[in-house]
Structure 1
């Protein structure tokens, strides 16, 4: 397969969802859109009485999407019952670079990630049967041969009014990220890709339109919906871009993520989240990234075939819960070398892509380490269906390997091992 180094760099940067803030969210009539965290049931009515439009309610009204003038933040803050507010922003990423199906070899070390965490051996004990994993992303391709376990009836799309997007959570070739994430978590292996939980049910939740970015109020609605339909796991391979400065920690976006994630966890849904691809130290200088800096998120950094933290993954003590394969090596140069045991592009993650965009792809990023953990959480829920999210996370951390303790700045409790985890529960 002939893929140039520049192409692979772009693939990692784009497909890894190092999201870029593309601007403030604005209604079609030009009004500004705000994310409001409410403290009390009457905040909505008070905002309406103050002349604002409340166009979306999330988590039983704990988060509100509000429209008003562009200079209205202080006025909204002054409404009784408003806990936090900030302008909503849109985030977007480039269309991933994918390999054509004809260029993908029929044999070779394709799913090294599955074998590295011993998911193939774990499937003798658990496969995710009777569980569900929600993919909060760009949707899932309903026609993919390895994704026949999609629950189309539960699929849903949250996008701005008037934006173009498939209904019911279906992905499109112009996006594709969610389809790739879904294959890692729950590919059935009917044709080529075996996910960590091949018999789980995949719930497609689309929060990106075909063109333009996703609003955070829609992302919040997607997470909330996953919990409302009883998903065992909600995978969130999206987030605020980069390593943010401490002062950004005060706004409504951080408050909204924390509120929605905690609400989902209280209702029994494990939320797995990618650590981000800025290669940043989240421990030093007070910087943070979202959502992995929120306690309710089970944050996942990315490793390569040699179990080292890859060059793009964020890290930091008390910020990373566990690690999982995300593709690439610890340096950019090694990732694109041709003399390693897994030469480029085979050290990336081989997974599903929309049928109209090649069907399969090599791809990389913490976006693809998080669904490894989501699939493992489904295996845990199959074996221990009454376990709460904290217990699921504890089982995954206990089965992880390579480090002592749970606070390694790069790997948290360690790189996950599916076989260890299910054996601990099955013994």
Structure 2
């Protein structure tokens, strides 16, 4: 697999969503006081009745309660806050919360003047959707299952629902509006001037969530994997830069599960490990515990969880390589990394971990995709700049026809955009999980996962391998139970 330094790629083109949407989100100390003194606390046996009093006595205030997983998010200006909590026997772990942030340029549309998206008046873009064509076997899977059906009055009955935990969605997009079933905003009030805490505010300020949703269930000029799947949006990232905290995303998992979605898509990732921040050493054990509990809560309640492996071109089995990357990344923020790092939520038990394949190769992943024999379950089309770019790293050879075309918020300047990344690969698999659940509502998450893996197209080395896992996921093969 060709390795490249990610920051070099980021400088290739302003707005290249390929490299930050869902994989280049970085964890870094925020200078924003609204999140710089934020903590995650995991209790041993659920939330005690006096949890708010416990936090107040330690010098903090509760900003988010997560009763389903026995955790909270809190803020405190006191440097002794964590030490003040140590004497409480009901607390299992506590740590400073590290925010996730998408690089500003990467959250913008891809800036090629491509013929693919310059003809906005065409009837459809099917000829440009190489990824959906491949995953659906040229649309053959639609003849088996679309995720729902049209009623005589023109409405759609959705046989399965996918929850998209992301930057929100353009609920008025013509290709999405018939499949959107609402959702929830989990971003607290006051994060910026537009954040009022309105639980119904799922407006996508970034574009990422709308792009992901289109891959799952668009039904218009572009088609998703399941064009009649229901989609619910859980907005956990705010602003054009798509900033967010782990507790918000955990809250999104809980909310989606309580809303009885069938599948959760998370085109985002964190790293959990032991860190030193300006001399303060701690284990990210509280976040790890709450992530695990949230995933377990979802799976126990019948939800299949799909997440991206990340876009750092890292071998996730090589802990030294991962830590060296993180130390380089975090050094400007006064953060050092010690101990093994894990991609969260993708490497959590019960999650389908997805790498990104390309249009042009059955032997190589997209150059940015993370990989690892013990890490990857399946691959799916994530797109890249094409074979010539992969060989030369020459910007002049970059071919946008190898990227992923999907929906974009109409109020951000265009209705369709090109992107790539494990963020784009993940919803391909979430869409497959959705149509599988629509066809087989009795399936449990383990059965959905097994079917997707067993019917994947065996790219790369024969059998399970570090790049593609069980192979490239395929909706038609999964629905028809065609095994290798």
TM-score range, shorter chain: 0.7 to 0.9
Deviation at 1:229, TM superposition (A): 0.5
Q: Which position in structure 2 is the counterpart of 1:185?
A: 216
TM-aligned CA distance change 1:92 to 1:5, over 3 Å: closer
Q: Which position in structure 1 is the counterpart of 2:406?
A: 351
For each residue in 1:320-363, what CA deviation from the matched residue of structure 2 results, as whole angstroms up to 9, or x when unmatched? 111100001578545977999xx710101011111022110110
- Aligned equivalent of 2:143, options 124, 129, 148: 124
Deviation at 1:418, TM superposition (A): 1.1
For each residue in 1:345-395, what CA deviation from the matched residue of structure 2 results, as whole angstroms up to 9, or x when unmatched? 010101111102211011000001110011000111011101111111011
Q: Which position in structure 2 is the counterpart of 1:262?
A: 296
TM-aligned CA distance change 1:246 to 1:25, over 3 Å: closer
Q: Which position in structure 2 is the counterpart of 1:313?
A: 369
Tell me if 1:137 matches 2:152: no
Q: Which position in structure 2 is the counterpart of 1:231?
A: 261
Tell me if 1:253 matches 2:253: no
Distance in 1 between the 2:270 and 2:296 partners?
18
Deviation at 1:183, TM superposition (A): 0.4
TM-aligned CA distance change 1:31 to 1:273, over 3 Å: closer
- Aligned equivalent of 2:129, options 93, 108, 111: 111
Listed as ranges, the matches of 1:409-420 within 5 Å are 409-420=466-477
Q: Which position in structure 2 is the counterpart of 1:21?
A: 27
Report the secondary structure of 1:6's partner residue.
Answer: coil
Aligned length: 414
Distance in 1 between the 2:250 and 2:224 partners?
26
Distance in 2 between the 1:83 and 1:366 partners?
33
TM-aligned CA distance change 1:125 to 1:280, over 3 Å: same
Distance in 2 between the 1:36 and 1:338 partners?
46
Deviation at 1:290, TM superposition (A): 1.7
TM-aligned CA distance change 1:331 to 1:71, over 3 Å: farther
Q: Which position in structure 1 is the counterpart of 2:184?
A: 156
TM-score normalised by L of structure 2: 0.78
Deviation at 1:61, TM superposition (A): 4.8
TM-aligned CA distance change 1:296 to 1:316, over 3 Å: same
Deviation at 1:92, TM superposition (A): 1.5
Report the secondary structure of 1:162's partner residue.
Answer: coil
- Identify unmatched segments of 5+ residues in structure 1: none
Q: Which position in structure 1 is the counterpart of 2:435?
A: 379
TM-aligned CA distance change 1:318 to 1:249, over 3 Å: farther
8 Å contact kept, 2:15–2:108: no
8 Å contact kept, 1:303–1:326: yes
For each residue in 1:251-275, what CA deviation from the matched residue of structure 2 results, as whole angstroms up to 9, or x when unmatched? 3222221121111111111110010
Tell me if 1:86 matches 2:142: no
TM-aligned CA distance change 1:56 to 1:319, over 3 Å: same
TM-aligned CA distance change 1:246 to 1:327, over 3 Å: farther
8 Å contact kept, 2:66–2:72: yes
TM-aligned CA distance change 1:292 to 1:49, over 3 Å: closer
For each residue in 1:210-252, what CA deviation from the matched residue of structure 2 results, as whole angstroms up to 9, or x when unmatched? 26621111111111100000000010011116x9679987532
8 Å contact kept, 1:15–1:96: no
Distance in 1 between the 2:392 and 2:231 partners?
31
Distance in 2 between the 1:335 and 1:208 partners?
35
Deviation at 1:104, TM superposition (A): 3.0
Q: Comparing 30-39 with 292-301, which one deviates more in the overlay?
A: 30-39
TM-aligned CA distance change 1:335 to 1:32, over 3 Å: same
For each residue in 1:193-222, what CA deviation from the matched residue of structure 2 results, as whole angstroms up to 9, or x when unmatched? 100011011101111222662111111111
Q: Comparing 38-47 with 310-319, which one deviates more in the overlay?
A: 38-47
Deviation at 1:180, TM superposition (A): 0.3
For each residue in 1:71-112, what CA deviation from the matched residue of structure 2 results, as whole angstroms up to 9, or x when unmatched? 322332432222222111221112322457984355684110
Deviation at 1:34, TM superposition (A): 1.0
Distance in 2 between the 1:169 and 1:27 partners?
23
Tell me if 1:295 matches 2:309: no
TM-aligned CA distance change 1:203 to 1:269, over 3 Å: same
TM-aligned CA distance change 1:41 to 1:290, over 3 Å: closer
Deviation at 1:58, TM superposition (A): 1.9
For each residue in 1:143-163, what CA deviation from the matched residue of structure 2 results, as whole angstroms up to 9, or x when unmatched? 1111023434x4110112313
8 Å contact kept, 2:15–2:110: no
TM-aligned CA distance change 1:355 to 1:184, over 3 Å: same
Q: Which position in structure 1 is the counterpart of 2:72?
A: 64
Distance in 1 between the 2:257 and 2:394 partners?
43
Q: Which position in structure 1 is the counterpart of 2:329?
A: none
TM-score normalised by L of structure 1: 0.87
TM-aligned CA distance change 1:249 to 1:49, over 3 Å: closer
Q: Comparing 296-305 with 88-97, which one deviates more in the overlay?
A: 88-97
Q: Which position in structure 1 is the counterpart of 2:325?
A: none
- Aligned equivalent of 1:176, options 196, 202, 207: 207
Distance in 1 between the 2:163 and 2:82 partners?
33
